[in-house]
Chain A
């Protein structure tokens, strides 16, 4: 384990920036934190987390796949991918680190999504422990420990110091560049912080939320649960929950007519939208109830069914604070899970 003083963290950022683009949460003009490319003068935000999750780095909201140009009877297909450069995402929370595992199982499973895989390969994740979890946090429900974030490098921030621990080869490589700026140290302070975090986790209002009653094999009983009517009745059908979610991975592939060619791109899609998975015969989910159900069934039943019981929710709490009508996965789990486990 190595450490540096919090005052000197900007020189660490400067050092990392020399070899790779560095992104970290920075407070915007509206007071909310956003991942921003670091440059001299920017400060690492104290906010618990960003509004938009860091999945954008690997699975951007829109991404060009290829381009077509026609001239006469010829169609030219242009590969729009450019050489990826190394980048570092700094200050990722434990929940969001876990979300990459959820995405990996979708995109890096055969056939591998090369657009995603190449970004994963070039990205280094520096994860930070959560000193002050919020009331909306429920990562422990999914077995995540915010005091022990995974990632290539784990860091712990105190009032005066920052502690680093490399977890992977990529992490070692990054730390070796910082050897001049950091010093070797013991684990006492970090252990003390871990204990403090554990104590707070025990006080969180959602600490008793459980996934009992969900998981693979529960499709039938949960799909037909009568509670979906009541739960979905106020849903406006906007895509906020899916777009701030670190694990939502549905996308659409569309063509954009530029007037002199076609750009084929993919963009995030939302199961809350009326056009979601629309096919030639029309749409197979006609009401908001069905769309609403899809989102939670996917996270809590279908995904674990196909992925060894791993849930595709990490308890980051973004949908809890951003839903316009305050309907969210916690309310769904309490209402439906409670019944199923009875």
Chain B
């Protein structure tokens, strides 16, 4: 259950529209069910009142939409940003990907978003309604007489379980209370893999990546992937193969994608959220983040505008590529 209510957000949006501060609102729009909300641009109070929602399923990171949606807009756009979204927001500003003057950012606190797949794993298919209240969800299904009670903590998305920050690093206005950067356990999974033998790691990733259907959802949802023409879409690049024809291509796509966002990835977790095949893609990104923290000092992409990512920087004393392994082997 979110501490801030839909009505508070709605009032804010309506009043900013009314006084002319913004001409459009980027928010979440009601779906067929309680959990399938869609990002949408609202332009009138009536639209907002009818379709605007804010609940435990508003996971989409809006920062990426700012890159494309602002071009033809007259006036400012109101965008609601959860703490993790604000990091992407800053990162995109660092890369000059949208016009800050055209955005009115409202920071909103977030108590973590629910992964509907986890709810379905507990309650089964056939969910007819989900009521978010307190620290539990009341799930009504087609097959049970009584609603099933599920603790919200049990069905939080992986990225929210390991939330790295409840602090907003960018906003024009903040609703509710500011949070803190959290000392999370987000690298635990990476460490677990690092502790395995290379054979075990290879088997792990082979199993995970073999499910890839190359739908590109991870790329298209990623706020760091904003190339106008992706190398994997470019017929002249020699690697635009549209489908994971074999295990090499699966690996190449995901290595290159993770590499290209290394140092720019804020660890928002959208890639894993949108993957239809449940591949834990965030682990690749976290591996890069963890490595760079260890090799070159702590760095959080998007924590501030204009910071220099480790891969576009250097010192004369950096460790050698070969020492990467010596280091790990002596640590272990």
Contact = CB atoms under 8 A, between A and B. Distances in A.
Interface of A: 28-32, 34, 48, 51-52, 61-62, 132-136, 200, 203-206, 230, 233-234, 236-240, 242-244, 252, 254, 256-257, 265, 267-270, 273-275, 278, 320-322, 324-328, 330-331, 334
5 shortest interchain CB distances as A-B pairs: A134-B125, A324-B274, A267-B243, A326-B36, A238-B217
A217 to B, nearest CB: 28
Given A29-B207, A234-B40, A244-B276, 19 more contacts: A52-B213, A133-B125, A135-B127, A200-B142, A204-B142, A205-B128, A234-B39, A234-B65, A236-B217, A236-B220, A239-B214, A239-B216, A243-B213, A257-B238, A267-B241, A273-B216, A324-B60, A324-B217, A330-B32
Nearest to B118: A31
B273 interface: yes
B233 interface: yes
A275 B276 contact: no
Interface string B256-276: 000000000000000001101
B332 interface: no
A203 B142 CA distance: 7
B46 interface: no
A275 B240 contact: yes
A contacts with B: majority SS: loop
The number of chain B residues touching the other chain, given as a range, is: 35 or more
Q: Which residue among A206, A242, A252, A257 has the maximum number of chain B CB atoms within 10 Å of its CB?
A: A252
A51 B276 contact: yes
B274 A238 contact: yes
B70 to A, nearest CB: 13
B187 interface: no
B125 A132 contact: yes
A254 B236 CA distance: 12
13 contacts: A32-B278, A200-B142, A230-B40, A233-B40, A236-B217, A236-B220, A237-B220, A242-B215, A243-B213, A243-B214, A256-B245, A273-B233, A325-B39
Contacts of A32: 277-278
Given A28-B211, A204-B142, A324-B221, A51 B125 contact: no
A278 B235 contact: yes
A197 to B, nearest CB: 12
A278 B240 CA distance: 13
A239 B33 CA distance: 23
B6 interface: no
Contacts of A206: 32
Interface in B17-33: 31-33
A205 B127 CA distance: 10
Contact of A240 (B36, B126, B217, B242): B217
Nearest to A274: B233
Contacts of A327: 38
B176 interface: no
A278 B127 CA distance: 41
A132 B60 contact: no
Nearest to B60: A325
Interface of B: 31-33, 36-41, 60, 65, 69, 116-117, 121, 124-128, 142-143, 207, 211, 213-217, 219-221, 229, 233, 235, 238, 240-245, 273-274, 276-279
Contacts of A267: 241-243, 245
Nearest to B37: A326
Contacts of B33: 135, 205
A51 B39 CA distance: 24
A35 to B, nearest CB: 12
Q: Which residue among A203, A236, A265, A270 has the maximum number of chain B CB atoms within 10 Å of its CB?
A: A236
A275 B143 contact: no
A75 to B, nearest CB: 21
Q: Which residue among A32, A240, A265 has the maximum number of chain B CB atoms within 10 Å of its CB?
A: A240
Given A236-B220, A238-B215, A324-B273, A134 B245 contact: no
Contacts of A204: 142
A305 B115 CA distance: 40
A270 B276 CA distance: 16
Contacts of A200: 142
Given A204-B142, A322-B276, A30 B211 contact: yes
Contact of B211 (A34, A62, A240, A268): A34
Contact of A268 (B40, B128, B243): B243
Nearest to A56: B213
B275 to A, nearest CB: 9
B215 A240 contact: yes
B64 to A, nearest CB: 8
A240 B276 contact: yes
Contacts of A244: 213, 215, 276
A62 B277 contact: no
Contacts of A62: 243-245
A263 B207 CA distance: 26
A326 B126 contact: no
A135 B142 contact: yes
Q: Which residue among B124, B238, B242 has the maximum number of chain A CB atoms within 10 Å of its CB?
A: B242
B228 to A, nearest CB: 10
B257 to A, nearest CB: 13
B221 A326 contact: no
B245 A265 contact: yes
